[in-house]
Amino acid sequence: MPQIGREIKKDIAFNRNEDVTKNLIRVLEAKAKMIMLGGGEKAIERLHARNKLTARERIDKLIDPGSAFFEIGLFTAYDMYKEYGGAPSSGTVFGIGKIHNRDVVIVANDATVKAGAWFPITCKKNLRAQEISIENRLPIVYLVDSAGVFLPLQSEIFPDKEHFGRIFRNNAIMSSLGITQIAAIMGPCVAGGAYLPIMSDEALIVDKTGYVFLAGSHLVKAAIGEEIDNEDLGGATVHCEISGVTDYKMKDDETCLNQIQNIIGKLGDRHKTGFDRIAPQPPKFDEKEIYGIIPEERTKPYDMHQVLARIVDNSELDEYKRDYGKTVITGYARIDGWAVGIVANQRLIVKNAEGEMQVGGVIYSDSADKAARFIMNCNQKKIPLVFFQDVTGFMVGSRAEHGGIIKDGAKMVNTVANSVVPKLTIIVGNSYGAGNYAMCGKAYDPRFIVGWPSAKIAVMGGDQASKTLLGIRLQAMKKRGEELSEEEKAKQLKEIKDRYDAETDPLFAAARIWIDDIIDPLHTRTFISRGIEIANYQGELPEFNSGVIQT
């Protein structure tokens, strides 16, 4: 297989890029460390005083010793709900961990954050956990410790299709699909939330700390006048010895977690999908050089081949239509031994077959046509797809329109949408407009999607958007006979751009689960490898059918 990449000249520009990227990662790691404390050290101490473990401690004890937890949504709710004191990681920790060497989705309420109450984004995060379980046919474990819906925001979480009730609907659907669901009631489990553990296959409850009921003691007294405490109303003894609602009475958190391990350890094996894997080989070039390759300014060109050469096994890429549609790179490679099909935006200014210059990061008709055909090939060959996004959108202008850019773009979008092989997406830099869609953005069901700290996600770039928005504002003022001074125009332009730039930050996207995580570029190989390993549990793939495509 042909080798790509070359030695990099480590000049001033390289060093500056490297410093910028490393600083972004340092800042990100510091934020992550704070988020992992949940409600803070004092809240953790109060939890420990009640003989309870934190959500992260429970997960650490549940998964196999020495194994890594593949966390999803660490930055969920970042900088959101500030008027309520914030909700670090949305008060829920979830991801995929190995239990008896089997991949299992684990969802744990963080009782140190508003007693584990559910904010609107918490619901979206839990639905994402169930989606991953369903797509990949993975068992799921719920570690329940929640006060229920965060009442000040009940209208944003209660009645709609993708609100709180959807979770219980999913419980039923997952059961019908044969997906194992295990719930451990390790704290409060109230009102509608009580249905989640009881709709699971098996429910465990921790004595004296776990409670499950449709209404707590205070509400019972207000509603029907009955005086009763929570333990006698819905504690472990009641539900394991009287009502029969729960299946196992556990003396403490650790005993409960051990019992979950015992249950998971006896599950039968599933038929794997059978994605091809051989012994992995490291890239020929130093992965750390990615830091210096990605330019500080998102508009500057760079060679995506150089990035890929530091990610794919042995720095080998068998390019498909290498000399055609050059603003998108397509080719077969291996990553950590797994066979993959790569679709990546090329940021260099290149020449097309007619010798015309094509701007990097833009998808032209020939690039879209090539990518669509390659994606169909990967579906036919049962090869997972990996997208590396750094795209400013599709080409515009009369020449592009007359050449059928919409038709060719639609062809690419169609094949991405209808793909049946797992898709994994890494947002390296820009992710603008329809380019986000064509390169498998969140709306196109990637199994997992992450961004590097250099990612920018928006309809268009900040400069273009701010000038467009200011122009619209000025037009409206002109109709009213009003005008702004040059100084006022500059001030408003800066205000618009600052707001727009804040909304294109990867943290803004991660907070809203537009991406699953923000990762260090050096973790990209691990992310892709684990993603395909998890997807390999799916079993037989459905038949690929692209439907009607205009040619």
Q: At residue 401, what is the residue type?
A: E
Q: Which of 188, 429, 138 is nearest to 299 (CA)?
A: 429
Residue 381 φ then ψ, to 5°: -90, 0
Q: Which residue blocks in 250-397 are alpha helix, DSSP H?
A: 253-265, 290-293, 304-308, 365-381
Q: Residue 348 burial by CB count (10 A; 0-12/13-18/19+): exposed, middle or buried? A: middle
Residue 250 φ then ψ, to 5°: -110, 140
Task: Determine if the pTM surpasses 0.85.
Answer: yes
Nearest-10 Cα torsion for 84, 502, 440, 370 = 180
Q: At residue 526, what is the residue type?
A: T
Q: Which residues of the chain have pLDDT under 50?
A: none
In angstroms, the CA 95 to CA 150 distance is 23
In angstroms, the CA 431 to CA 514 distance is 12
Question: How many Cα atoms sit within 13 Å of 317 on the Cβ side?
Answer: 26
Give the SS3 label for residue 363: strand
Neighbouring-strand partners of residue 183: 142, 203
Give residue 458's pLDDT: 87
**Helix, strand, coil shares of the chain as percentages rounded to 5?**
45, 20, 35
DSSP 328-360: EEEEEEEETTEEEEEEEE--S-EE-TTS-EE-T
Per this entry, what is the length of the chain?
551
Give residue 1's pLDDT: 74
Q: Which residue blocks in 248-355 are alpha helix, DSSP H?
A: 253-265, 290-293, 304-308
Q: Residue 102: which H helix or E strand, with range?
A: strand 102-109
